[in-house]
Copies of this chain bind each other. A is one copy, B any other.
Amino acid sequence: MKRSSRLSLALHALVHLHKQPDEAMTSTTLATCLMTNPVVVRRALGELRDAGIVGSTKGHDGGWRLLRPAKDISLHAVYSAMGESLLIRTESDPGDIACGIVRTVNTVMGEFIADAEALLAARLERVSIADIANQATPNPLHPHHGVHHHG
């Protein structure tokens, strides 16, 4: 697995929920689609639940569903809900603290990153889960039928 698979994992799950609006999907079902563990799904979606993006219900016929239309869920909302960023973290540069250069590099880099962060946030705000779903070109071998039986 690669770094920050959490992000694509969450997006993947959200698109699934969007495509199946009628009934809640369980963590186990999603985990099968995402080829991971139900607990990992809960952890990721739990953060989105705290941000009011998805809702979860326990017990019979419980599971996850979107709390608002996919077109109203921006990628930026997802990312900030998960405390993630597209940019690397470059805080806390190693180096002798008595050396002024360290702090200068950190300052310059920090400003650059903050600037870039704002730039990307604005762009991510303009992309929604619906945008991703609409671009979904079904796999010619396994077209979607609403139910996802993993291969």
Q: Do residues A88 and B3 form an inter-chain contact, with CB atoms below 8 A? A: yes
- Check: A82 CB closer than 8 A to any chain B CB: no
Which residues of A1-55 have CB atoms within 8 Å of chain B's CB atoms? 1-5, 7-9, 11-12, 15-16, 19, 32-36
Q: Do residues B113 and A86 form an inter-chain contact, with CB atoms below 8 A? A: yes
- Check: A89 CB closer than 8 A to any chain B CB: yes
In angstroms, Cα B90 to Cα A124, docked, is 15
- Check: A142 CB closer than 8 A to any chain B CB: yes
In angstroms, Cα B1 to Cα A36, docked, is 29
How many protomers of this protein does the assembly include?
A: 2
What's the minimum C-beta distance from A80 to chain B, rounded to whole angstroms? 15
Contact of A94 among B9, B92, B101, B137 (CB under 8 A): B9
Total A residues in contact with B, Cβ cutoff 8 Å: 68
Chain B residues positioned under 8 Å from A100 (CB to CB): 136-139, 142-144
Chain B residues positioned under 8 Å from A132 (CB to CB): 104-105, 108
In angstroms, Cα B134 to Cα A17, docked, is 52
Q: A35-B95, A115-B123 are in contact. List 10 more A-B contacts (CB 8 A).
A: A2-B94, A3-B90, A8-B94, A8-B109, A9-B93, A33-B96, A86-B87, A98-B139, A98-B151, A119-B119
Q: Which 7 A-B pairs have the closest CB atoms?
A: A98-B151, A8-B93, A100-B139, A104-B136, A98-B142, A96-B150, A100-B138
